[in-house]
Amino acid sequence: MTKSKPIAVVILAAGKGTRMKSKKPKVMHELLGLPMINWLLNTVEQLDPERVVVVVGKGMNDLIDTIKPHKYVIQNKQQGTGDALKAALPALKGFSGDVLVLLGDTPLIGVSTLRNLISTRNIDAVTGISVLGVKMQNPTGYGRLIMGRNNILKAIREEKDASAQEKQENIVNTGAFCLDSRRIERWLSNLNNKNAQGEYYITDIPELAALDKIKTRVVIASDVNEVMGCNTRIDLSKLEQAAQNKMREHFMMNGVIMQDPSSVYFHHDTQIGEGTLIEPNVYFSAGVKVGKNTHIKAFCHIDNTVIGDKTTIGPFARLRPGSEIGDDVRIGNFVEIKKSKIGDRSKISHLGYVGDCIMDSDVNFSCGAITVNYDGFQKHQTIIGKGVMVGSNVNLVAPVILDDGAFVAAGSTITTDVPADALSVERGRAEVRAGWAALYRKRKEKAKNNNKDKKKES
């Protein structure tokens, strides 16, 4: 095998997503909260390419912003993959080496597969192209790889142009190519659009190369999910599930325990520590980091939150953005935390709301207690010191400070600061009126009977 050469990557991403029924470019649709194009860019960056060029369509400004600092070129008219690659030629000027051509709507292709594609292109001096294929039991709708002897590709046929015999082939084109940069421009100039679509196909290049006695070799992808493309919302949902499964397997291989992995959903940036147990039906949104040996119970929704070690969350807990949960903390059922810091060993066991709060360690925040953080115009902060006991059904009306060791009696509505080690009780004075309930019921019954009599008279 000859020595590998510098790499340039061209990503074809000018698709409008018409079949997605969406106004945004196809490759801007998200998997695990990250646009498809970013999945592919993150992969190709691991190849340390000399340059990356993304082919976009007119008016795709959001896509252009997303791919920065990589270069882009505009395909003015969408006339096929060959035309798209031709649009990238000015950005490849002066480059000599291997040009990796990828489809932006095939986001899950792996770096090892791409390295194999590149090394196959460099297997000998007469191999100018390598193509990535995959075997499918039902290849309907895909272009077929028509194989010759010794793993040499004879041709690629789009299904609409394939003969009945060619349609029997089950090795399909994935759209990934590795090409010798020295010959690309000449091959592209010889393409024509005499086909069912009236487009210029990059898939015609292997036959042009054969006229120059240049071989095209095929690499077979081992996992069909890795080369799955996206044209519809149904395809997008399948890609989402494939990406979720990839994340689930990654975490389990690194010591995370999941009882029902298929019911746990991750964001692309989720971090989970070794030994953590995740029960069924848990959703991780953006920016979540969970420590080691923590227990996330069923039906929790966690968003932009950092959780420490040996902590228990849920079931049915909601952790909202800006929250920091310490070590050995207990957040119980039907508890909501928002933009708050919860200190080590503190407990918010059930039916509570904590918003815009700084809570120190060893606090007991009892059932039904809440921080009243919004006055209708602004949010205000509650500060709770070490070892504070907040009784059941307490309202802490912010801004308010409970100093270290303070006790707040159940049912209180606290509107003033509580000193250290003090007890605060803010309740209305109880009033008991003997016999009142019986008299009330009697009056109600009499009024009801009077109404009946009036109806009869009328």
Residue-wise pLDDT tens digits, 288-312: 999 999 999 999 999 999 999 999 9
The yes-or-no verdict on residue 18 having pLDDT over 90 is no
244 occurs within a structural domain: no
Q: Within this chain, do residues 147 and 295 fall inside the same structural domain, yes or no?
A: no
| 223 and 273, same domain (yes or no) | no
Count up the domains in the chain and report the number: 2
Asked if the model's pLDDT at residue 203 lies above 70, the reply is: yes
CATH of residue 401 = 2.160.10.10
pLDDT score recorded for residue 7: 97
Exposure of 38 in the CB half-sphere (CA atoms within 13 A) = 15
Tell me, what's the pLDDT at 1?
41
Instruction: For residue 191, tell me if it sits in a domain.
Output: yes
Instruction: Please give the residue that has the higher pLDDT: either 361 or 147.
Output: 361
Residue 449 lies in a domain: no
Q: What is the mean pLDDT of residues 205-216?
A: 93
Burial group, residue 38, by CB count within 10 angstroms (0-12, 13-18, 19+): middle
Predicted local confidence at residue 3, as pLDDT = 52
Bridge partners for 417 per DSSP: none
Rounded to whole angstroms, the Cα distance separating 282 from 266 reads: 9
Asked if residue 235 belongs to a domain, the reply is no
452 pLDDT tier (thresholds 50, 70, 90): confident
Query: What pLDDT was estimated at residue 17?
Result: 79
Q: What is the 3-state secondary structure (H, E, C) of 115-171?
A: HHHHHHHCCCCCEEEEEEEEECCCCCCCCEEEECHHHEEEEEECHHHCCCCHHHCCE
Tell me what the pLDDT averaged over the chain comes to: 94
What 3 state SS string does 281-318 have?
CCEECCCCEECCCCEECCCCEECCEEECCCCEECCCCE
Q: What is the mean pLDDT of residues 66-82?
A: 93
171-185, 424-438, 444-458 — which one is most confidently predicted on average? 171-185
CB 114 within 8 A of CB 43: yes
Query: pLDDT of 389-429, one tens digit each?
Result: 999 999 999 999 999 999 999 999 999 999 999 999 998 88
Q: Are residues 55 and 190 in the same domain?
A: yes
Could you tell me if 305 and 160 lie in one domain? no
Which residue in 361, 324, 331 sits closest to 346, CA to CA?
A: 361
Check whether residue 319 and residue 218 sit in a common domain.
no
Assign 430 a pLDDT band (cuts: 50, 70, 90): confident
In a domain, 255, yes or no: yes
What pLDDT is stored for residue 15 in this prediction? 86
Asked whether residue 410 is assigned to any structural domain, the reply reads yes
HSE at residue 425, side-chain half, CA atoms within 13 A, is 5
Please tell me the predicted confidence (pLDDT) of residue 355: 98
% of the chain exceeding 70 in pLDDT:
99
Considering the domain boundaries, does residue 120 fall inside one? yes
What does the pLDDT read at residue 28? 96
> Average pLDDT for residues 200-206, to the nearest whole number?
93
Of 227, 260, 279, which closes a domain? 227
274 lies in the same domain as 402: yes
Query: Both 202 and 276 in a single domain?
Result: no
* Residue 218 belongs to a domain: yes
Q: Is 86 within 8 Å of 200 (Cβ atoms)?
A: yes
Residue 396: which of 376, 417, 378, 427 has the closest Cα?
417
* 76 plus 119 within the same structural domain: yes
Q: For residue range 56-69, list pLDDT tens digits in order.
A: 999 999 999 999 99
- Which has the minimum average pLDDT: 146-155, 323-332, 388-397? 146-155
Confidence band for 458, pLDDT divided at 50, 70 and 90? low
- The single-letter code of the amino acid at 90 is P
Is 173 in a helix, a strand, or coil? Answer: strand
pLDDT classification of 2: cutoffs 50, 70, 90: very low
Are 284 and 416 within one domain?
yes
- Summarize the confidence of residues 4-20 as an average pLDDT: 89
| Domain membership of residue 281 as a residue range | 251-424
Strand partners for 127: 215
Are residues 183 and 64 part of one domain?
Answer: yes
Over residues 211-218, mean pLDDT: 93
State pLDDT tens for residues 351-368: 999 999 999 999 999 999
Is the distance from CB of 362 to CB of 327 less than 8 angstroms?
no
Helix (H, G, I), strand (E, B) or coil at 217: strand
Strands (E), 181-329: 215-220, 257-258, 271-272, 277-278, 283-284, 289-290, 295-296, 301-302, 305-307, 312-313, 318-319, 323-325
Strands 98-103 and 171-180: antiparallel
Quick one: average pLDDT of 164-177? Answer: 90
Nearest in space to 97 (alpha carbons), one of 201, 206, 194, 178: 178
213 and 268 part of one domain: no
- Domain of 192, CATH number, reads 3.90.550.10
The model's confidence at residue 4, banded by pLDDT at 50, 70 and 90, is low
The structure tokens listed for 361 are 């360690």
Residues forming the active site: 350
Residue 413, pLDDT score: 96
Which two three-digit tokens encode residue 121?
């292109």
Mark whether 295 and 342 lie in a shared domain. yes
Q: Specify the pLDDT at position 142.
A: 85
Query: What is the rounded CA–CA span in Å between residue 311 and residue 293?
Result: 8
Which of helix, strand or coil describes residue 336? strand
